[in-house]
Structure 1
């Protein structure tokens, strides 16, 4: 069929050659340090089963019926109460339950962004958000980051010049970098949004997964009444409870939220009722906080295993990565190596997978970067995976040196 038969949006987002390579991960001998999803060992399966059983026993007819588009009222109440306990002024009427945070990003984008509108993002940032903005036809503008998050001076210059409609941020243990935005920069970004009238979409998927100290308060919590009119806050049960529930929530100014609810009604009408009931009974039983404590210890142990393996296996290699303080990822720099070009060799010949850093950039990517996930592999697999990665890197460096020698020997 001719491409003209399809909507123009289908040409804005192309299939990823990297994802096609990941079809090789079905091989039993390949260790994946790529996926950013919870380990099965980290899930509270018994607690989830009990919550689901209570949902079916007490609310059988409700569990298999339609639900309000905004979400199951008692669950929204519990989410709001939990937010208030953290000092966040939030009522159940201020939030919408979505089918995962990816849907929340999509809904906000469809409501706010017209083709050609400018959207600012951290460089690098979450691939799923980039694809959503591109599919909508946005002009996506990258803003440099460092270990304190988005660089505010560069952001201000971009805002003054390009007037973006929104700024998408992952301030806590960001995907892919693991960086945490400093309190100072959070306040500065809020002030910029109020002054220049652009929305901040704050994606807080990882904020609960801290190892020692929690991150600073969310931009949503820090915002005064005027600043809050420009803040959209996203949070999810996928990383802290179970991704299969497909539940997240979105808080936004009242007028914007009304439009988002209508957009959701045009999509899937409401998030899965049974999932919402299971999450309600889980939270209502007081199960979430103990589960979070266990989850933090689990991922801290995973991260330490990866740090030990990196120190042991890559100490003689120019492999630069900051120790993880939370979340699920190590963000590494491998000078003089194109990590996209190296991926096929890593998977096919060495049996290890990672995500090349180029996937997380719009415009000119940094090709020497890569993301390693310590979330879903076992401690033993992490150690062996890093050993395989080290062998692959050494092979790449030797091959690059041989190519230079051969080139120099040419007449």
Structure 2
């Protein structure tokens, strides 16, 4: 088993080992019953002492994540076995995935009420129009399928994207844009190009699960900066940077995922000033800024960037056609050149067919469509918050976002969110637990509920079912003797 250890980190080696294994267990990479390497074997593999590994295993056992017995070894909890199975060799086959929460969160998409998934219901998306364009291309210009796309992206589409961003006060030339297969690929390319083991990456607390996975995979030292109603606490970030200079700052300033918070204009300006002073990069992830319900969010940080410190990633996947996977990346100078080089070795260019299929809609119909979509999503948010106000148990709180797709709920401290999640799944419900939006096993009392990925009728049914379940959970918990597991 491979684990990247940073011997200059402030975290001890046993802590780094136990944190990595805990993340593997939580994300399903080490399923229940998996046999862990022996203490001696892992110590040799990682070039550490057996005492170091023993301390890591003891910490995991104390948290109930693994069971160890003399002569049998250590196993992930709930499924201990003393006999080797045909798949045991796979558990001991090295990989380089310290954490992988994103794929695990998508496994529950078949539930009746998938509140965990930040997506828009298909009935609200322009799928028929985009599909019709794609069908016409296949029939009338089949040669498009025989061509590799430009590594940087189709030039005509980049021209349209430059105009789209200009209307949002971001002044870029088509040559300063790169098309990617969704924002996730853009984040991954940035990390693979500029982040290495031990580099300090600052993120909002909480942050997007997919970005955390990517930075963890690069061996980054992730530092989570608390937020308030105006976004990331830049004053705290500044003090942290004095002690640990940043290599990169990752932010979702508009309708942040998962919290829904929007960063104020003054904080955006101060964040850019900080990046200038430390000569570091800001990755500005922008999937939701077009989904505002009253007034647009403050200007993008990229619109104020004159020295090339901001890599701006604008996703169109969620708002148009998730299956087409499309985003554009805006960056300057040599930063963009290196990202294009990374992309060329990653996929030889995004598919030309999907770029050409989405081009007519983005160039001619997008703004009117976005306005209609905002009204539809605003109505759904109003219904969701009305249900919360009427039926949420005491102690449940939330901040109503001004845009985006999700609600971030804080539950009473007494709620065991893992247990609640299992009870919800039994009822055909799913939600995103807040602890996956941090790294290193940071506990959270929050959950994310998306209000846009079902029909309005399904949304209401699912919300009432969930709130009823939560109410029953709290009542049973209050009545149950200490230490008795709940059965709802």
**TM-score past 0.5 threshold:** yes
CA distance in 2 between counterparts of 1:343 and 1:72 reads: 44
The equivalences for 1:197-216 within 5 A come to 197-216=279-298
SS of the counterpart of 1:107?
Answer: helix
Deviations, residues 194-238 of structure 1 (Å, cap 9, x unaligned): 011111000001111111101000000122x23xx2110001111
Check if 1:328 corresponds to 2:328. Answer: no
Range with bigger deviation, 137-146 or 77-86: 77-86
1:169 maps to which of 232, 251, 260: 251
Separation (CA, whole Å) in 2 of partners of 1:18 and 1:265: 28
Q: Of 477, 481, 488, which residue of structure 2 is paired with 1:400?
A: 477
Q: Pick from 106, 110, 116: which aligns with 1:26?
A: 110
Single out whichever of 167-176 and 297-306 deviates more from structure 2: 297-306
Give the equivalent residue in structure 1 for 2:148. 66
* Aligned counterparts of 2:434 and 2:379: Cα–Cα separation in 1: 24
Q: Does 1:13 align with 2:13?
A: no
RMSD value, Cα: 2.0
Q: 1:234 and 2:320 equivalent?
A: no
Q: Structure 1 residue 293 and structure 2 residue 381: aligned?
A: no
- Is 1:188 the equivalent of 2:274? no
Q: Secondary structure at the match of 1:376?
A: coil
Q: Deviations over 1:279-309 (max 9, x none)?
A: 112233x111121112111211211111111
How big is each residue's C-alpha offset from its partner over 1:40-63, in whole Å with a ceiling of 9 and x where there is no partner? 011112321343245446643234
* Residue in structure 1 matching 2:420, options 338, 342, 363: 342
Does structure 1 conserve the Cα–Cα contact (< 8 Å) formed by 2:169 and 2:299? no
Q: Is the 8 A contact 2:120 2:454 kept in 1?
A: no
Alpha-carbon separation, structure 1, partners of 2:483 and 2:176: 65
In 2, Cα distance between equivalents of 1:193 and 1:213: 28
Please tell me whether the aligned partners of residues 398 and 407 of structure 2 are also in contact (alpha carbons under 8 angstroms): yes
- What is the alpha-carbon distance in structure 2 between the residues aligned to residue 158 and residue 324 of structure 1? 28
Conservation of the 8 A alpha-carbon contact between 1:309 and 1:382: no
Contact kept, 8 Å, 1:143 with 1:150, in 2: the verdict is yes
Counterpart mapping for 1:117-196 below 5 A: 117-196=199-278
Give distance in 2, aligned partners of 1:87 and 1:107.
25
Deviation per residue, 1:140-192 (Å, 9 max, x gap): 11111112110011110111111121010000111101111000100010000
Aligned to 1:272: 351
Match of 1:380 in 2: 457
Computing the radius of gyration from Cα coordinates, the structure with the larger value is 2
Change beyond 3 A, Cα 1:133–1:145? same
Q: d(CA) in 2 for partners of 1:321 and 1:154?
A: 23
Moved more, 188-197 or 56-65: 56-65
DSSP-derived class of the 2:328 partner: strand
Query: 1:107 is matched with which residue: 171, 179, 189?
Result: 189
SS of alignment partner, residue 26 of structure 1: coil
Per the alignment, residue 198 of structure 2 pairs with: 116
**Would you say 1:246 and 2:246 are equivalent positions?**
no
Structure 1: gaps of 5 or more residues: none
Q: What runs of 5+ residues in structure 2 fail to find an aligned partner?
A: 1-88
> Is this contact kept in 1: 2:294–2:402, CA < 8 A?
yes
Q: 1:277 to 1:17 in 2, by over 3 A?
A: closer
Please give the alpha-carbon distance, in whole angstroms, between the structure 1 residues aligned to 2:257 and 2:271.
19
| TM-score in terms of structure 2 length | 0.77
In 2, the alpha carbon distance for the partners of 1:279 and 1:383 equals 32
Does residue 168 of structure 2 align to residue 86 of structure 1?
yes
The answer to whether the 8 A contact 1:340-1:358 is kept is no
> C-alpha displacement at 1:376, in angstroms?
0.6
The one of the two structures with greater contact order (alpha-carbon pairs below 8 A, sep at least 6) is 1
- C-alpha distance in 2 between matches for 1:124 and 1:85: 30
CA gap of 1:150–1:91, structure 2 versus 1, over 3 A, is same
Query: Which residue in 1 is equivalent to 2:360?
Result: 281
> Match of 2:259, SS?
coil
Q: Matched residues in 2 for 1:43 and 1:98: separation?
A: 20
- Residue 103 of structure 1, CA deviation: 0.5
Matched-pair contact (CA < 8 Å) for 2:255–2:261: yes
1:405 deviation in Å?
6.0
CA deviation map 1:68-87 (0-9, x unaligned): 10000000001001222332
Distance 1:63 1:292, change over 3 A: farther
1:112 Cα offset (Å):
0.3
